[in-house]
Amino acid sequence: MRMHMKSPAALIAVALSAVLVTGCGSSDTADTASTSETRTAAADPASADGKGRYAAVDGGQLYYEIHGTGKPLILLHGGLATAEATFGAMVPALSANRQVILVELQAHGHTRDFGRPMGYESMADDVAQLIAHLNLGKADVAGYSLGGGVALQLAARNPDLVNRLALISSPYRSDGWMPETRAGMAAMNPDAMRETPMYQLYTAVAPDASGWTALVTKTRDLLGKDYDWTAQAAKIQAPALVVTAESDALYREHAVDTAARIGDGKSARLEIVPGTTHYDIMYRADLLLPLLTPFLDATT
């Protein structure tokens, strides 16, 4: 995990807020990155050394890191973000007694675009293939925002792969987002956003900086689609934790409804994190860890 950048969490929180509310917004490099991907993919796929590796999935090469040993926990980042920027503040504590697997989804961070539309379902299938690649059997899964949508789809499509599920600031229906948030998503422009800290964070780790355009446009297209996962939520068999910020970008009542819709309506609980917004909740490890850790440690 790269930790050389100054306060990436604070940078991306500010950038996300600006982007979603306002819509703000060479070949040699590619060859070198491709060689690196092939080399790291050949290493021990389950080594808990925190080094980046790649797993071959249907779309391409999916980047992941493993920290710690024990019961596996897969962490799925938010849209336009990196794994480190989203979960870096919590990895030391979470990996103290479990195997934490950070993933960077299609076109995000170290993972190149896959030359296909970006979809929650297809990215969930990528994670399912990673679980098979690492011979995990079942894993706990936690996802934030866009990553929460991927986590929900993974649990619905592959109930045999998900042991416990945590959804953070992530709606199961597109109308769960507040209108101003959806308007900001629709207005995202890759050229205008080159002046944001999010672009700096992306280019610091991406194998090819030119992938920024695909990342922003495909994420914008994905977030602009209407969806209703009522049926999918009902299929989830894993115990679930639904977490929302006190001042989130989705409606409070939608978060309540999410917990009620999962599985039999009795296997999920809702937690509201005080003094947080959609854009800074992931950087309040002091508030999230007391919720996540006992949930993940539970046996029933």
User: Domain holding 75: CATH number?
Assistant: 3.40.50.1820
> Is residue 3 included in any domain, yes or no?
no
Other C-beta atoms closer than 10 Å to the C-beta of 97 total 13
In a domain, 114, yes or no: yes
Dihedral sign (CA 66, 70, 74, 75): negative
* Distance between CA atoms of residues 59 and 36, nearest Å: 18
Determine the pLDDT at residue 45.
80
Cβ-in-10-Å burial (0-12, 13-18, 19+) of 291 comes to middle
Q: In this predicted structure, what is the pLDDT of residue 75?
A: 99
What pTM was estimated for this model as a whole? 0.88
User: How many domains, the chain?
Assistant: 1
Residues of the chain with pLDDT under 50: 1-8, 10-11, 14, 18-19, 21-22, 25-42
Asked if the structure places residue 1 within a domain, the reply is no
Q: What pLDDT score does 279 carry?
A: 95
Q: What is the reported pLDDT for 258?
A: 98
Its domain, for residue 169, covers 8-297
Q: Identify the residue whose tokens are 């990553």.
A: 147
Is 27 within a domain? yes
Q: Would 254 be classed as within a structural domain?
A: yes
Note the pLDDT of residue 74.
Answer: 99
Backbone phi and psi for residue 4, each to the nearest 5 degrees, phi listed first: -85, -15
Residue 15 lies in a domain: yes
Tell me, yes or no, whether 152 lies in a domain: yes
Specify the 3-state DSSP secondary structure of 253.
Answer: helix
* Coil, helix or strand at residue 26: coil
3-class state of residue 234 by DSSP: helix
Confidence at residue 25, expressed as pLDDT on a 0 to 100 scale: 43
pLDDT for residue 47: 83
Helix or strand holding residue 183 (H, E): helix 179-186
Q: What is the pLDDT of residue 91?
A: 98
